[in-house]
């Protein structure tokens, strides 16, 4: 995965490096934010490549790419062995629909990821999670001891996962926690952001008389529900639908959007750029 200022020669340089190393490119996707400005140093370039490389050629491969190609173009880049699934930790409160859908997809090998643990501020879902053979950790989050709760979560997460996902974890994570964690965090929010951020979006949508409700999966930042969006979807509603029907239809969309975002992240299909994303 590569992002850098757009300019001629990027694809050629990457491809030539891979060819010289004996790699075989099996898929390549690219996007330029302003291709006609590249000659004048405008726009950004994003690239995702999948390639095969013999095991005996991998030692020092990433370091060489950094020195020979990435530095030349001032790239932000990363490589990941697709044979090594990303380790996912799930944070959840009491709502079970996104959690159970994710665990079901994980058990069916649909996520290209390995869920390694579930952490909750309630005990309610322990039996459901342990039925999947996963460890369940209860970390209370009382208002007067959130710092201690976040510290306990850091102990459970550090060195044990590659990404954290919030399956309707109804707690606001502090900026200090996010900085200390130093890992991508993905949230599912039950509205079509930027509409109805924060608490009670279905109630507010019903009161506003909207005709579409949706869900948004996004990376978590210190700004509430303001991080880069990965995936969204909507479902139509009418004035005749009850609030309970809003919630039921919304939950269906939440499950699909959340699963897509987690899978795409774990397949290295998402490049963050400022407060936006490019999803290949």
Positions marked active-site: 225
How many CB atoms within 10 Å of residue 149?
17
Helix axes 201-208, 243-266, angle to 10 degrees: 130
**DSSP-assigned states of every residue in 91-117:** EE-S--HHHHHHHHHHHTT-SSEEEEE
What are the DSSP E strand ranges found in 99-199?
113-120, 136-138, 163-166, 185-189
Count CA atoms within 13 Å of residue 15 on its CB side. 11
Tokens read off for 19: 């060819």
Cis peptide before 20 (omega within 30 of 0): no
User: Helix and strand tally (H, E) in the chain?
Assistant: 9, 13
Under DSSP, is residue 273 helix (H, G, I), strand (E, B) or coil? strand
Q: How far apart are CA 134 and CA 155, in angstroms?
A: 18
| CA 36 to the chain's CA centroid | 31
How many CB atoms within 10 Å of residue 68?
14
Q: How far apart are CA 132 and CA 116, in angstroms?
A: 11
Cis peptide before 217 (omega within 30 of 0): no
The structure tokens 């399956």 sit at: 167
């Amino acid at each position: 995965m590569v992002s850098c200022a757009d300019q001629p020669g990027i694809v050629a340089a990457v491809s030539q490096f891979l060819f010289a190393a004996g790699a075989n490119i099996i898929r390549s996707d690219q996007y330029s934010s302003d291709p006609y400005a590249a000659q004048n140093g405008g726009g950004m370039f994003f690239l995702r490549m999948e390639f095969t490389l013999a095991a005996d050629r991998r030692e020092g491969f990433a370091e060489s790419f950094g020195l020979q190609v990435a530095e030349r173009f001032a790239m932000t880049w990363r490589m990941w062995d697709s044979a090594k699934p990303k380790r996912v930790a799930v944070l959840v409160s009491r709502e079970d629909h996104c959690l159970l859908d994710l665990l079901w997809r994980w058990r069916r090998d649909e996520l290209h990821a390995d869920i390694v643990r579930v952490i909750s501020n309630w005990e309610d879902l322990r039996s459901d999670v342990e039925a999947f053979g996963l460890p369940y950790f209860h970390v209370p989050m009382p208002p007067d001891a959130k710092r201690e709760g976040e510290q306990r979560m850091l102990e459970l997460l550090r060195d044990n996962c590659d990404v954290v996902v919030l399956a309707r974890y109804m707690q606001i994570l502090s900026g200090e926690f996010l900085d200390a964690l130093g890992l991508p965090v993905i949230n599912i929010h039950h509205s079509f952001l930027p509409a109805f951020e924060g608490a009670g979006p279905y109630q507010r949508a019903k009161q506003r008389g909207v005709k579409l409700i949706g869900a948004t999966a996004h990376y978590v930042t210190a700004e509430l529900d303001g991080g880069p969006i990965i995936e969204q979807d909507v479902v139509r509603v009418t004035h005749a639908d009850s609030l309970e029907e809003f919630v039921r239809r919304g939950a269906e969309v939440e499950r699909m959007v959340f699963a897509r975002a987690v899978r795409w992240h774990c397949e290295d299909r998402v490049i963050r750029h400022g407060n936006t994303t490019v999803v290949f």
